[in-house]
């Protein structure tokens, strides 16, 4: 038993954070089912949970992430206050600290200076970096802009008290008031249900959804915009992360207020920011021009085609005729991708907005090239 724990750096364990993560997870899988067993299902408490989950989840995605970390848009004080209060309720520390760590992640992605470096493994990127402190805390000198915001600094000072009240006390009080008013359950049961369901269970679910962006979204999915880093696009992750699953795009264009830029991509955080702009609560929504987005896709497609050409040239001694045909086709596609890249680069440089039909034509060509590349490779190596 002693040998089993020899490699665990107990001297570097963040005991408060680790205890919180472990205890809340254990309560979620034990106390929450026990509550349902003894007191039954209650639709009101579930409704409170349904409010709290998106309120806290989007306070992280819309507020901590896109507003504070990346300055992707501007927001009036009511929006800032909301995301700071409910962001604290996610128990992911202050917006100031969160933004500092996230900016380090983007600057040093996939290196030892990346706080949640995926090259250290799934567990480390998911939550290990919170549970163990392998390096001394670095100064938060990359958030000087946020230090000028009085609301951000107020939350940073009182974040733990705000988090405890918003996340546990308030839901318990709501459950207590509901029980007293309706008398469907005892006040104690109402308070306990509020504490456990929209409180503890919701915290665990929101936290692990956020953690998945740092772990799964650097392991599973596609990389249509760049393979220079590990970030990936995953529509599955987007479902439970309020649209943050399109992570390959985000790492290429981190200042865009959108993560899901295609019409069919699920990005509730983008929709909320846009809707708030229509009533004057958000403004200056930053968007990457369509030409630059398509240019990134085209460059990546060309790189993939060139990789396949190199691969086929290495095995050119076998099935020579099929290999030759595949190489000829791929070289033609590579040349066409180069032409598209040059046209898109010129449009982006000269700030020329290409017509939607022209962009659609290019996009169709790129998709066709990807499909033909896959067919050619399978045929040649079959």
How far, in Å, CA of 87 to CA of 56, rounded? 5
Residue pLDDT, tens place only, 308-317? 667 666 665 5
Collapsing DSSP to helix, strand or coil, 233 comes out as strand
Model confidence pTM above 0.85: no
Read off the DSSP letter of residue 70: T
Alpha helix locations (H) across 108-169?
A: 122-123, 129-131, 150-164
Averaged over 84-106, what is the pLDDT? 97
What sign does the CA torsion over 313, 315, 317, 318 have?
negative
The predicted pLDDT at position 3 comes to: 45
Residue pLDDT, tens place only, 275-320? 999 999 999 999 998 888 888 888 887 787 777 667 666 665 555 6
The predicted pLDDT at position 324 comes to: 62
Q: Helix count (H) and strand count (E) of the chain?
A: 16, 2
Residue pLDDT, tens place only, 320-343? 655 566 656 666 666 666 766 666
What sign does the CA torsion over 274, 277, 281, 285 have?
positive
The predicted pLDDT at position 329 comes to: 64
């Amino acid at each position: 038993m002693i040998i089993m724990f020899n490699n665990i750096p107990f001297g570097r364990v963040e005991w408060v954070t680790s205890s919180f993560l472990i205890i809340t997870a254990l309560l979620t899988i034990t106390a929450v089912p026990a509550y349902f067993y003894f007191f039954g299902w209650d639709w009101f408490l579930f409704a409170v949970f349904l409010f709290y989950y998106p309120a806290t989840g989007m306070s992280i995605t819309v507020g901590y992430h896109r507003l504070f970390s990346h300055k992707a848009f501007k927001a009036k004080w009511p929006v800032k206050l909301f995301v700071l209060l409910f962001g604290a309720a996610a128990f992911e520390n202050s917006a100031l600290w969160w933004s500092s760590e996230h900016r380090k992640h983007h600057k040093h992605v996939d290196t030892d200076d990346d706080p949640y470096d995926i090259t250290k493994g799934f567990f480390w990127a998911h939550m290990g970096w919170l549970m163990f402190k392998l390096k001394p805390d670095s100064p938060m000198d990359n958030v000087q802009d946020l230090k000028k915001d009085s609301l951000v600094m107020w939350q940073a000072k009182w974040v733990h008290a705000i988090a405890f009240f918003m996340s546990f006390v308030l839901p318990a009080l709501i459950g207590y008031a509901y029980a007293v008013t309706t008398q469907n359950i005892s006040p104690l049961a109402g308070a306990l249900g509020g504490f456990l369901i929209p409180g503890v269970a919701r915290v665990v679910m929101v936290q692990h959804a956020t953690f998945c962006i740092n772990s799964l979204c650097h392991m599973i999915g596609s990389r249509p915009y760049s393979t220079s880093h590990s970030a990936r696009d995953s529509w599955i992750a987007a479902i439970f992360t309020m649209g943050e699953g399109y992570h390959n795009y985000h790492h290429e264009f981190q200042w865009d207020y959108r993560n899901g830029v295609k019409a069919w991509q699920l990005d509730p955080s983008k929709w909320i920011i846009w809707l708030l702009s229509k009533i004057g609560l958000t403004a200056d929504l930053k968007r990457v021009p369509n030409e630059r987005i398509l240019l990134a896709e085209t460059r990546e497609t060309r790189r993939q085609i060139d990789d396949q050409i190199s691969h086929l040239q290495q095995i050119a001694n076998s099935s020579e005729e099929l290999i030759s045909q595949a190489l000829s086709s791929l070289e033609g596609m590579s040349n066409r991708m180069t032409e598209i890249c040059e046209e898109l680069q010129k449009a982006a440089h000269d700030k020329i907005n290409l017509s939607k039909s022209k962009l659609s034509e290019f996009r169709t060509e790129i998709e066709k090239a990807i499909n033909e590349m896959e067919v050619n490779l399978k045929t040649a190596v079959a």
